[in-house]
A and B are shown apart, each in its own frame.
Chain A
Amino acid sequence: MKTLILQGLAVLGFVFFSAMFLVWWERKVSALIQNRVGPMVVGWHGTLQTVADSVKLLLKENIVPSGVDKLIWWLAPFFVVVPPVMAFVTLPFGKSMIVRDLNVGVLYVASMTAICVLGIFMAGWGSSNKYSLLGGMRAAAQIISYEIPLLLSSVLVVMETGTLSLQGIVEAQAHGWFILKPHLAIAFLIYLIAATAEVNRCPFDIPEAESELGAGYHTEYTGMKFAMFFVGEYTSFFIVAAMATTLFLGGWQGPFLPSFVWFLIKTYGIIFVLMWVRWTLPRVRMDQMMSFAWKVLTPISLANLLIGGWFMVNA
């Protein structure tokens, strides 16, 4: 019981620390790309900027707009934050750094990240704001569409290893990461693209398209509730990057350094690439995005699954 509480506290601490770090880092990467310097005043190179921001958000007034669907509006931020935190339970941070090695790990993480869409849709519906509702509906359509290529590319890894346990998948990559195999490299690319859409990031950030919807589903939220949407967003961002690391980049495997360091290096590397993509590419239109999911990504991942399966049977 005592270790369970400690593990829970460690996960929670890591979640909030990681979200704060990622917000700071996102601002720094955007500044780097746009020839700026980013936050510089609070702490060394602005490292404590997010701390100051969260204190500000904590002290802000909690405004409840008139006409909101109260229960749904109040519950929505929790539905965005809690599922990604729960997905941390089965992430293999290191050789023995895992809370519970579930034998359905891949399925568990995928289903937990999929619950987020419920929270986003609840926020859009509960706000009784037409733009929020549009954002929520877009999020629902987008996340459900991109779930399919995401899972189809994970299935290839499961076929390769024959286990759903994440620790088992990492151990199967002891003699070469999965990204080195051609069909799994394609699966990795599909996974990255689908994961970007899954966490509503640019170029697939139409649920919160600032120019069209005015921040979309979290327009009506203020203070700590707004901060919870941010934490949820960056936590699921960390989860998809960690899953990409675990499934394709060999998880915590690596020479010399301790295993959790390797895991964090790889995960933050993928996060950096996704940030780089975000600050480079413009947003796609809704119809372009849906047709890309159904006409390009899903067929390619299905074909990839077929060819990969054929190789596994015949090789």
Chain B
Amino acid sequence: MHKRAGMGMLRKIKVFYLNVKSLLVGMKVTFKNMFAPRVTLQYPQEKQPMKENFRGMVDLIPEDCVICYQCIRICPTAALDLGHKQIIVDEKKKNEITKFTFNTELCCFCGLCEEICPTEAIFLNKMYEVAAFRHEDLLKIDLMDAQKYKHLDKNYIFKKKE
């Protein structure tokens, strides 16, 4: 009985030692972290660059479009609306887009239009701040307009896909 009591005391001292040691290990970890790089992003001033396969708003390079209607057909939610007419330029028949609009409300950002497009004219850009003040601002976005998202994002610049 006496011997066991003695062992208990030794064990307690060992536990105490291990406890103190683990405290110091923890302190060392936090001290190292004081000099580690910060993970905070000062959001409205700094922006997170989006990944290569990020699917933002639908965008279009009008000159590349061949009016094949593939994107209209594949769109699962019918968010895109395309119309064209024939015109004659230098005695040659040519198709011209009359309207190409995009309904943000219906879009599910699946990226199928980007995948199917034979000339890579239609693509999903890197926009992610897409709140508008009015409902109508999101309904009919004219994809032919180079300033199409200017009302959602002041810094929007039309960029061709890399």
How far, in Å, is A31 (CB) from chain B's closest CB? 8
- Residue pair B39, A32 in contact (C-beta under 8 Å): no
Known contacts A32-B33, A40-B42, A281-B26; 8 additional CB pairs below 8 A are A32-B34, A33-B30, A35-B36, A36-B40, A37-B38, A276-B31, A280-B30, A296-B16
Give the chain A neighbours of B30 by CB distance below 8 A: 33, 276, 279-280
Residues of A within 8 A of B37 (CB): 35
Interface hits, B50-94 → A, CB 8 Å: none
Report chain B residues within 8 Å CB of A281: 23, 26
CB neighbours of A159 from chain B (8 A): none
Within 8 A of B (CB), among A268-297: 276-277, 279-281, 296
Say how far A277's CB is from chain B's closest CB, in angstroms.
7
- 28 A-B residue pairs with CB within 8 Å: A32-B33, A32-B34, A33-B30, A33-B33, A33-B34, A35-B33, A35-B36, A35-B37, A35-B38, A35-B39, A35-B40, A36-B38, A36-B39, A36-B40, A37-B38, A37-B42, A40-B42, A276-B27, A276-B30, A277-B27, A279-B30, A280-B26, A280-B27, A280-B29, A280-B30, A281-B23, A281-B26, A296-B16
**Number of B residues whose C-beta is below 8 Å from A?**
15
Q: How far is the CA of A34 from the CA of B33 in the complex (A)?
A: 7
Chain A residues with Cβ under 8 A from B34's Cβ?
Answer: 32-33
Query: What is the CA–CA distance of A82 and B58 in the complex, to the nearest angstrom?
Result: 64
Residues of A within 8 A of B (CB): 32-37, 40, 276-277, 279-281, 296
Please give the distance in Å from B65's CB to the nearest CB on chain A. 45
Task: State in angstroms the CA–CA spacing of A280 and B26 once bound together.
Answer: 6
Residues of B within 8 A of A33 (CB): 30, 33-34
> Chain B contacts of A40 at CB under 8 A?
42
What is B's interface to A at a CB cutoff of 8 Å?
Answer: 16, 23, 26-27, 29-31, 33-34, 36-40, 42
State the CA gap A40–B46 with chains docked (Å).
13
Q: In the complex, A34→B32 CA distance in Å?
A: 11
Contacts of A280 in B (CB 8 A): 26-27, 29-30
Q: Give the docked Cα–Cα distance between A34 and B30 (Å).
A: 8
Residues B27 and A37 in contact, CB atoms below 8 Å apart: no
Q: Bound state CA distance, A36 and B26, in angstroms?
A: 18
Q: How far is the CB of B46 from chain A (nearest CB, A)?
A: 11
Nearest to A41 among chain B residues (CB) is: B42
A170 to chain B, nearest CB (A): 29
B26 contact set on A, CB distance < 8 A: 280-281
User: Which residues of B lie under 8 Å from residue A296 when comparing CB positions?
Assistant: 16
Q: How far is the CB of A242 from chain B (nearest CB, A)?
A: 23
Quote the shortest CB–CB distance from B49 to chain A (angstroms): 19
Residues of B within 8 A of A277 (CB): 27
Chain B residues whose CB sits within 8 angstroms of the CB of A279 once the complex forms: 30
CB distance from A297 to the nearest CB of B (A): 12
Nearest B residue to A280 by beta-carbon distance?
A: B30
Tell me the complex Cα distance, A37–B27, Å: 20
Expressed in whole angstroms, the Cα–Cα distance for A115 and B38 within the complex equals 41
Closest to B42 in A: A40
Measured between beta carbons, the chain A residues less than 8 angstroms from B16 are: 296
